[in-house]
Each structure stands twice: as structure tokens, then as C-alpha cells.
Amino acid sequence: MAKRIPPSKKMEQELCTGLITSSDPLGEAARRGARLILQKAIETEIDQFLGRGWYERSGDGATSGHRNGYESKKVHLGEGTIELAVPQRRDTLVPFESVWLKAIGKRSKRLLEMIPMLYVKGMSQRDIEAALVDALGVEHTGRSVIGQVCRSLRVNLERWQERDVSEYRLRSLFLDGIALRLRPEDKSKIAVLAAYGMLWDGKKVLLHLSVGDKESTTCWEAFFEDMKARGLNDPLLAVVDGNAGARKALRHKFSRTLVQCCQVHRMRNVLTKLPEVARPLIKKIILRAFTATTFAKGLEIGKALIAQQKEAFPAAMKCLERDLEECLTVLTFPFAHRVKIRTTNLLERLFGEGKRRTKVIPKFTTESSGMMLLFAVLVDASEGWRGVRMPPHILHRLEQIAENPDSEWEDPDLMKLAA
């Protein structure tokens, strides 16, 4: 009976299982989704060419001839190589040539650029068909096929968001939010909360993405509860952009976790409250505090600056004084490791890419469609993340901090620097 199953049916059966077991769900979804759509398309072409469907003995088509198995053909795309089963035929009066395969050969780059739109355009099968026609110049793509593929991809992406994360030995948690207009009925933007983690082995992994009405304590608490319910362990450190709601929620849900306020965000906030002429000098002194050799030294420099300048620049100094110690938490960590945990810049760059990609969409008809595009962009961008080297002396210090944050330690990297 296996020979009675067309290749596209086998691909449908493989789609879900392949995504569930893949370590790269987005890339795998792109490859398998493109492969299934293209396979369906060329199978439809041969049906129309012969005038009869799969395993039909006769038809009213103008072309005589018979099916003669399949020939494997590899198509090279930016997401990787996909393998299609091209229908063969014999005894036909005129030659058969797949317009899809011909178009792909000329436009594989445009096909790659179009694939992420499947996650968004699933809201409208007509829009997806238009995107395919625009990308490949091929008419009659088969709307039911597109709808079926998009529904499969949507389900598997939702599974990714609900996956068990207990396998990750989380060391550092990085948090940030982005404001987007996702709902057509909303006049204002809503917050999309994101988190990635750095594991004890140095690997970076995108953990969660969720909608909140704003970056409030309540929204962040729900965000953390979701991850904890799926098995996330309490991190040693959490890095936040200075949002008061996130910090308060961290204290409630991860009471033992140390907090590092993003130094880039805090520097930006302080400088905006200073006259332009005063910014270079104040910035230089703040950088000395943020990059001091020890926590005590950084705190000393910061407090001295506040005392000296609070009369001249009260708003700026109040901003610097607020959570100053949490801006300097990084100084208790190994010197060679500090640059990796002093900011949320990695999420900032991800959000920048997300904003760039979402700008091309005039509006989202549903919240789900907007989230699917943002999710696709962030996961795709996170594929390029490099892990962090974790030499034994750094691991040893991090384990010390986990047991006793106030423990003293002689950093060999700092000793070399001093020498």
C-alpha cells in the first residue's frame, strides 16, 4: 500500500514529528514547509497535465500518457537543500515541464525571503497565494495546500512556545520588551516580552516570547510563572533594562536571583538629563564606575560623582543614584565574564531586526499573525548566537557566587591586568 501514497502525503506525516524533535524549529519549519508546498504544486501540475488525479485510470485531459514513478531532484535554497520527488511520465503526446521547478531555479533567493511570511500570512490564504505568485511568478498555487501547511506550522510554533525548558541549566536570564501595534482594534502599541538565557555551559538560548498589555509587574510575573511552570530553574543572575516592573517581578518570582541593570540603558537615561556640554565628562566618570575592578571601587566612584554633581544636575544624579548597586552587580563576577552580562544589547539587536521586518507589514489582522512573524524573526536571528567560553576558574567563581554572593575571590585575570 505504500506505493499508493504520493510523496506529499509522506511529507505531511513527517512535518510535525520533524519539527518536534528538531533543535532548530524555525529553520526546519522553513525547509519542510517549502518542500511540502513545492511537492504539492508539482503533483498538481502532473494531475492537470494528464487530466486525472493520483491512481485514477482514466480522465478527460487532452494529453495521453501514464505516470512513470518519481525522480529525486535537489533544490538549493538559502535555508538549505530540499529534495523533491518529481513525477515522471511516459507515452505523452507533448513534453511536460514543471513551471514551478523552472521558477525556483531562477528565484530561489526570493523564495527564501518569502518563506517567513508563511507565519504571518496564514491569516489570509489569498495573501499567501499572492506572496507565492509574486515571489515565483507562478499562478494557481493551490490555496487549500497553503492553508494546510500554514495551519501545521502555526501548531508547531505554538508547541515550541509551550515546550518543556527544564533541560536547560540556566545561569543568566536576560529580559527586555518591545512595543508593537499587533491588534487592529488597538490604537496604541502593546508590549511583547522576551527572554533569553545563558546556560552554565556557555550556550545561549531564546527562552520565551509573550504578549503583555504593558511592561508592568503583573505582566512580568505572568511571564515568569509561565517559564517556571515549564520547568525553568532560578537563574544566578537576571539582566534587565531598568524597568521597575521587571525588577519587582523578579524579586517576587526569583527571590534569590541577583539583578544587573543594563548599563547601556542607565547611561542613556542619565545622559538625556544632562546639558550637551556636560555629557562627555560625566559619561567618562560613569564608565569608570561601571568598569571598575571591584564592586567597592565602582560604588565609591559612583557615589562621589553623585555627591559632586547633585546640585548642578539633580535629575541626572537622581537617575544614576537609583539602583546604582544593581548597575554594579556585574563587578562581583569574573573580570573576563563581565562584558557578557553587563547589558541586554543582544535582545536590543534582535528587537531592532524585528522592528525592521514588521515595518513592511501595513497592519496585522490578528495578534497571532503579528506574533508569528516576530517569533520567526527572533528565532531566525538567534540562530547566529555564539556561546561563551567557560574556563574552569570562571565556573568556579560563579559556583562560589551561587553559594555566597558576598564571598571574596582573587580574580587571576584582574591580577594579570594589575601586573
96, HSE (Cβ side, Cα atoms, 13 Å): 26
Residue 109 CA to residue 354 CA, distance in Å, equals: 20
Residue 181 CA to residue 354 CA, distance in Å, equals: 13
pTM confidence score: 0.68
Kindly report the average pLDDT of the chain as a whole number.
Answer: 77
Look at 359 and 6; give whichever has higher pLDDT. 6
Contact 310, 282 (CB under 8 A): no
**Residue 31 pLDDT more than 60?**
yes
Nearest by Cα to 382 from 174, 98, 230, 124:
174
Flag the least confident range among 51-65, 302-316, 363-377.
51-65
Q: What values do phi and psi take at 380, rounded to 5?
A: -65, -45
**Residue 18 pLDDT more than 60?**
no
- Position 77 scores a pLDDT of 60
- Position 407 scores a pLDDT of 81
**pLDDT per residue as tens digits for the range 147-193:** 555 565 566 668 878 899 999 999 999 998 888 777 777 778 888 89
183, HSE (Cβ side, Cα atoms, 13 Å): 11
DSSP line for 172-241 = EEEEEEEEE---TT-SS-EEEEEEEEEETTS-EEEEEEEEESSS-HHHHHHHHHHHHHTTPPPPSEEEE-
**Residue 122 pLDDT more than 50?**
no
Look at 104 and 368; give whichever has higher pLDDT. 368
How far is CA 397 from each of CA 73, 87, 101, 333, 417, rounded to the nearest angstrom? Answer: 54, 62, 57, 7, 18
Q: What values do phi and psi take at 112, rounded to 5?
A: -60, -45
If you ran DSSP here, which 8-state letter would residue 77 be given?
A: E
Q: Where are the domains of the chain?
A: 2-161, 170-403
- Position 160 scores a pLDDT of 77
pLDDT-based confidence at residue 40 (cuts at 50, 70, 90): confident
Angle at 175 between CA 170 and CA 179, to 5 degrees: 150
Phi-psi region of 172 (alpha: psi -120 to 50; beta: other; left: phi over 0): beta
**What is the Rg, in whole angstroms, of the alpha carbon atoms belonging to the chain?**
27
Start-to-end CA span in the chain (Å): 76
**pLDDT per residue as tens digits for the range 53-92:** 555 555 444 445 677 678 888 776 655 677 888 877 766 6
